[in-house]
Chains A and B, each alone.
Chain A
Amino acid sequence: MSAIAFWGAVELGLVYGFVALGVFLAFRILDFPDLTVDGSFPLGAAVAAVALTAGWNPWLACFIAALGGAACGLVTAFLNVRFGILNLLASILTMIALFSVNLRIMGRPNMAVLNRDTVITPFYDLGLPDHLVRPLVLAVLIIIAVLLLARFLGSDFGLAMRAAGANPRMARANGVDVGRQIYVGMGLSNALTGLAGALFAQVSGFADVTSGVGTIVVGLASVIVGETLFRSRAMLIALAACVIGSVIYRIAVQLALSADLLYLKPSDLNLVTAVLVALALILPRLRAGRRVAR
């Protein structure tokens, strides 16, 4: 693996780190299996692409993309809280609707962001090589996000959210408005995913309606890989673990891409990725099992 390929994997891992944080919020904190992300990720990309093409400030484009993502999460939460539609189903409904919405936003299935000013552009003047600048800027952004989220989840409101996810009945008995917690949590989760989509479009040069497929799988894999490597009750470490999990996932994909030594064909990529992620999941459990057996 070359340095450029490695740092490219880190860069995408950091972009998808925002997805991992969102999935962690929905899946781990709220216990809400949320497929909305498969739609809010390309939505963020689409919104950013349209905004950048219209000549808007790239930071503003990111902000609007995050707002758009939040709106998607709120729709899912609304279907679930207000009408009692099963959480998984509610999120699937939003996801499939978003495919059409995304086509509307862009007016076509694919939009170029090549040759546009992005949030990274001003930092190219730092004098570092391009392939280092991108992960560096993204790392700063995600560290800020992790710190803010940890702060939020440690606040009274955040603790109430954790209670609402861990034991809704008990939380309700203690005066927590569980419905409101789901709205806020899902909005925040998908805002992070929308932001990830916006950043993806900016570092990869395009927004494409198909780019959402499998986002939830990537997010979940990152969360689980992170959890397996760093077992901790401290929220800050748990959040950082999601981001690190996402970076490791991308490095695994990169390894699968360059694994032509082992008689592997390009068509084996998905299989190899799945095996690598499965190994990351199984190994700690095997170790733990041996400890128990002893």
Chain B
Amino acid sequence: MRKILLLAAASLALATAASAQTVKVSVTAIVEHPALDAVRDGVRDGLGEAGYKEGENLEFTYESAQGNTATAAQIAREFVGDNPDVIVPISTPSAQAVAAATRDIPVVFTAVTDPVSAGLAKSNEEPGGNVTGVSDLSPISDHVALIKELVPDAESIGFVYNPGEANSVVLLDLFKKAAEEQGLSVVEAPANKSADVQAAARSAVGKVQALYVPTDNTIVSALESLIGVAEENDIPLVSGDTDSVERGTLASVGFNYYQVGKETAEVVVRVLKGENPGTIPVTFASGTDLVVNRKAAEAMGVDLPQAVLDRASKVIE
């Protein structure tokens, strides 16, 4: 018995000694889908590049709430109990759950469209408290301009989104504003769950010359059914994120979520080095990647303008 106790004490001492140099970063997302998973991987790799390597001096944990907000609240409390150096919540509800659960542990949210209206930051310049992060607000007017360039005779654009997602509603307002400025009208195609995406897209057929899908968790997780409708009816489909272009949308300009994760990691590193998160301004994810999909162009009956092809940072064949 005494031996066991001694052994336990020794291993405990060892563990505390090791943890002196090890940093602990806990990551959580509301749901698992390719874009959010890419953010997570970006955070991990970004930390690695900054010298925090998993298995050496970084303890990296990840939990998904599988779409359930009560689980998100439980994950938040579990993380707070583990007392990590930084908590990185991905998406709005996860970030709110974590922010409600701790007033001390630094929080670096990411993939939140509008941190101020989500109650996470007092202002984007000075978030206040223990929270800062990265916003994934899409470069919306660039998207409208891209649609205009790809479909010169477009008059109205179908906007496929879930009215139940906070981010998407913000994006819809911005999109309408940008489209109006560029002389285009917007037709809403709402889908409350992934099973409704196809029907929503069909409802826009005949009314629009192009379709647009924002960074909407529901729609993006059922992207293939939307692509099917676009290809069937020769309607060009532009997406808000570049990851979706690889899955078969026509084109997008913006950031990829892996890059967003890396930008988040930079903020995490600043916090790890001792900066106060409340005074770090919210970062807006950047990136001017233009990605086009030649195969999708053929399927959707679009002649890709040479100017677009010349500018593209990546052409998917």
- Chain A interfacial positions (CB closer than 8 Å to B): 1-9, 11-12, 16, 99, 103, 108-110, 112-115, 130-131, 200, 203-206, 208-211, 213-214, 218, 250, 253-254, 257-258, 260, 266-267, 269-270
Q: Is the CB of B100 within 8 A of A210?
A: no
Judged by a CB distance under 8 angstroms, whether B290 is at the interface is no
Which residues of B, 69-93, contact A by the 8 Å Cβ criterion?
69-78, 80-83, 92-93
Chain B residue contacts of A214, Cβ below 8 A:
68
Contact present for B64 and A204 (CB under 8 Å): no
Kindly name the residue among A7, A114, A210, A218 whose own CB sees the greatest number of chain B CB atoms within 10 A.
Answer: A210
Known: A209-B164, A257-B74, A257-B78. A110 touches B68 (CB 8 A): no
Cα of A7 to Cα of B166 in the assembled complex, Å: 30
Report Cα–Cα, A189/B166, bound state, in Å. Answer: 29
Query: Once the chains are docked, how many angstroms separate the CA of A110 from the CA of B80?
Result: 23
- Inter-subunit contact B80/A99 (CB<8 Å): no
Bound-complex Cα distance A113 to B82 (A): 24
A109 touches B32 (CB 8 A): no
Partner of A206 from the list B62, B119, B164 (CB cut-off 8 Å) is B119
Chain B residues with CB below 8 A from A113, complex form: 100, 119
Within 8 A of A (CB), among B195-209: none
Give chain A residues whose Cβ lies under 8 Å from the Cβ of B81. Answer: 1-6, 8, 131
Measured in the bound complex, the distance between the Cα atoms of B249 and A191 in whole Å is 46
Q: Which of B69, B70, B77 contacts A131 (CB under 8 A)? A: B77
Q: Give, as a whole number of angstroms, the nearest-CB distance from A142 to chain B.
A: 16
List the B residue with the shortest CB-CB distance to A6.
B81
Cross-chain contact B78 with A110 (CB below 8 angstroms) = no
The answer, among B61, B73, B83, B192, for a CB contact under 8 Å with A204, is B73
Residue B66 CB within 8 A of the other chain: yes
Query: Do A2 and B78 touch (CB < 8 A)?
Result: yes
Interface majority SS (helix, strand, loop, mixed), chain A: helix
Pick the most buried of B71, B92, B120: most chain A CB atoms within 10 A of its CB: B71
B163 at the A/B interface (Cβ < 8 Å)? yes
Do A206 and B93 touch (CB < 8 A)?
yes
Shortest 8 CB-CB contacts between residues of A and residues of B: A112-B119, A205-B100, A8-B77, A2-B81, A4-B81, A110-B166, A206-B96, A5-B81
Q: How far is the CA of A280 from the CA of B294 in the complex (A)?
A: 54
| Complex CA distance for A131 and B73, rounded to whole angstroms | 13
A sample of 10 cross-chain residue pairs with beta-carbon separation below 8 angstroms, ordered by A number, consists of A4-B77, A8-B73, A8-B101, A110-B166, A114-B100, A203-B100, A209-B164, A218-B70, A258-B78, A269-B66
Inter-chain contact B74/A253, CB cutoff 8 Å:
yes
Task: Using CB atoms, name the residue of chain A closest to B73.
Answer: A204
A12 touches B74 (CB 8 A): yes
Residue in B63, B69, B96, B169 whose Cβ sees the most chain A Cβ within 10 Å: B69
Closest to A15 in B: B70
Expressed in whole angstroms, the Cα–Cα distance for A130 and B119 within the complex equals: 20
Residue B23, interface by CB 8 Å: no
Contact of B74 with A254 in the complex, beta carbons under 8 Å: yes
Q: Is residue B97 within 8 Å, beta carbon to beta carbon, of the partner chain?
A: yes
Whether a CB of chain A sits under 8 angstroms from the CB of B287 is no
When A99-B164, A103-B163, A110-B93 are in contact, do A250 and B119 touch as well, CB less than 8 Å?
A: no
Picked from B32, B101, B118, the residue with its CB within 8 Å of the CB of A110 is B118
A269 to chain B: which residues have CB within 8 Å? 63-66, 71
User: Do residues B97 and A250 form an inter-chain contact, with CB atoms below 8 A?
Assistant: no
Once the chains bind, are A2 and B82 in contact (CB under 8 Å)? Answer: yes
